[in-house]
Structure 1
């Protein structure tokens, strides 16, 4: 089986999918200071309490790999 894209194109497609997935995953599980009732003086009440950055990076990568796999499969089988 031959890879349907040149490596540079595949990297560009993957990183584009990754950043789109990041913006889709960022709001999941975020609770604001106002929602938790723990507003720190001098901060915006809508500021997040805990971002859980590394778990979001992990899930973004998993989602991007799945979507990229689907893109590669479509490109391979339609060629």
Structure 2
């Protein structure tokens, strides 16, 4: 895995985790009963995106290390998940 692949893998994992973490423990303006005029009731009451980004980064680094380790070790290869038989047969030397 080269550096570009590692960065793309980390970015995909980070954004997937971020979209999972973002709605957790969310308090909306409608829930608090303090709706600012011109905003929807579903708008967040407090901006805690920075804290959620830090949590996301920690989780993403752990997941990335596990997934990159599996890829680099060769424990699971592309041939292992090729259920349609699209890869050519592997030649033995």
Question: Is TM more than 0.5 here?
Answer: yes
Unmatched 5+ stretches in structure 1: none
Rg larger in structure: 2
1:16 alignment partner in structure 2: 12
Aligned residues: 75
Residue number among 45, 52, 65 corresponding to 1:69 in the alignment: 65
The one of 75, 78, 82 equivalent to 1:78 is: 75
TM-score, scaled to structure 2: 0.73
Q: Structure 2: which 5+ residue stretches go unaligned?
A: 77-93
Could you state the TM-score of these two structures normalised by the residue count of structure 1?
0.85
Deviating beyond 3 angstroms after TM superposition, the runs of 4 or more aligned structure 1 residues are: none
Aligned 8 A contact 1:17 1:68 in 2? yes
Point out which structure has higher relative CO (alpha carbons under 8 A, 6+ apart): 1
Could you say what the CA RMSD is over the residues aligned between the two structures, in angstroms?
A: 1.4
